[in-house]
Copies of this chain bind each other. A is one copy, B any other.
C-alpha cells in the first residue's frame, strides 16, 4: 500500500484542481475526467434533506457510466430550493463543456456550508479561467482540493495482485451513513477493466464494511458521496484481486477519515466478533464507537470497561446475554476476567496512544465486523461551537 500524495492518477484518468473563488483562496474545484464514458458506480447519503448534487449524481449514474466527476468544496449547495438544483445542473453543464462530454455523464459532489447559494457569477468566471489549464493534477492535489475542515489530505493506492492495474482513492470528511456535516466524499479510480455490474456490486459491498463503518458523531450529512470509476485501460484483472485491492484502499481511507475526525486525538477501532451475524456485529460495533461516554473515557485514557458494557447493552437484541460477553481493550481482557490495578495503569498508557482497539466477543455465533471512530475531545466541541453559519 502506498499513501504517497505525489502519485499519478491511474491510466486513463486526468484531473484539474483550481480555486474559483467559492469561499476563499484555497482550491475549491476538482474535476476528474476520462476520454469517454466508462463504468462507474456511486454510494450516497440516506438523508431526507439531501442536496441537489446528490440528486443529480444519482440520476446520472443510473446507467452505470460516467465521463467526469466535479467536486465543489466550501459550499454544500443544500436547502437552496429550485435555485440550488438549477445551479447544480449549471455546474454539471460547465464541467461537461470543459471536459468535452455529455452533461448526463458528469457526476457532481458538494461539501461545505448549508443554505447558502453558489456564487454562480464567480463560478462561471472560474470555469472560463481554467480553460487553458493543463490536466496535471496528482492524487494528492485532488485530495487537497476536496478538503474542508480536514487537517490532512487522505489518499491511498494499491496494486491489484497479478496485474499492473491499480486502485487509487482520495477521501475527505468524516463518515458516510453517520458522518459529520463536514460531509464525506470519496473518489476511487482504477485502470482495471471491470464491468459496470461487477464494479457496482463490489463497491457496494466494500463501502458497506469500510466507509459505512466510520462514525464520528452519529450525525448524517446531506451530501455524502462515494464514487468509483474504472477506465478499463488494463484487461484481464482477477475480480477477487480487484476486490481485495479495493478493500485495502477503502479501509485505509476509512481509517484516515476516523483518525482525522473533528478534534480527534485517538483513532478508535472496534472489533466485534462471535455475533449472531455480521449485521448484529456492526450494530454493536457502531454503538460502542458512537458512545460519547466511551469516546470521552478513551480521551481521558481511562480503561472504563463499564461504559463499553453499557454500549453493548443498549443494543437491545434478545440474544445478547451479558454472561457470555467478553470485553477487551487492546488484547487485555477486562470482563468477565478482572484485571489488577497495575494492569489498569498499563492500559491507561495504551489508551494514550494514537490508535486504540476495543474488542468485544458476544459468544453467540461467528458474525464479525469492525467500526472506526475517534475520541471525543474539547477540540470537537470548540470546532463545532465556533463554526459559523
| Interface residues of A, Cβ cutoff 8 Å to B | 46-50, 76, 78-79, 81, 113-115, 180-181, 217-222, 290-293, 296-297, 299-300, 302-307, 309-317, 320-322, 325, 335-336, 338, 344, 376-378, 380-382, 384-389
- A310 contact set on B, CB distance < 8 A: 47, 49, 114, 181, 219-222
How far apart sit A223 and B324, CA to CA, in the bound complex (Å)? 20
Distance, CA A385 to CA B325, complexed state (A)? 25
Q: Is the CB of B79 within 8 A of A309?
A: yes
What residues of chain B lie closer than 8 Å to A344, measured between beta carbons?
389
Instruction: Give the docked Cα–Cα distance between A238 and B311 (Å).
Output: 42
The prevalent SS among residues of A at the interface is loop
Q: Are B317 and A48 in contact (CB under 8 A)?
A: yes
Query: Could you say which residues of chain B place their CB within 8 Å of the CB of A78?
Result: 306, 309
B303, B320, B381: the one contacting A377 at CB < 8 Å is: B381
A sample of 5 cross-chain residue pairs with beta-carbon separation below 8 angstroms, ordered by A number, consists of: A81-B336, A218-B290, A296-B381, A297-B385, A344-B389
* Contact A219-B48, Cβ < 8 Å, known A309-B79, A384-B297: no
**Contact for A381 among B48, B291, B316, B378, CB less than 8 A:** B378
- Chain B's closest residue to A375 (CB) is B385
| A338 closest partner in B (C-beta) | B115
State whether A48 and B114 are in contact (beta carbons under 8 Å apart), knowing that A299-B385, A388-B302 are contacts in the complex: no
Is A222 a contact of B49 with CB atoms below 8 Å? Answer: no
Contact B49 A385 (CB under 8 A): no
- List, in ascending order, chain B residues with CB within 8 A of A220's CB: 310, 313-314
CB-nearest residue of chain B to A217: B292
Give complex CA distance A292, B182 in Å.
Answer: 13
User: Are B47 and A313 within 8 A (Cβ)?
Assistant: yes
- In whole Å, how far is A362's beta carbon from the nearest beta carbon of chain B? 10
Q: Which residues in B have their C-beta under 8 angstroms from that of A46?
A: 314, 316
Quick check: B312 and A48 within 8 Å, CB to CB? yes
Cα–Cα, bound, A305→B321 (Å): 41
Q: Does A47 lie within 8 Å of B335, measured CB to CB?
A: no
Cβ–Cβ contact B313 & A48, under 8 A: yes
Contact residue among B49, B316, B378 (Cβ-Cβ distance under 8 Å from A309): B49
CB pair A115 B335 closer than 8 Å: yes
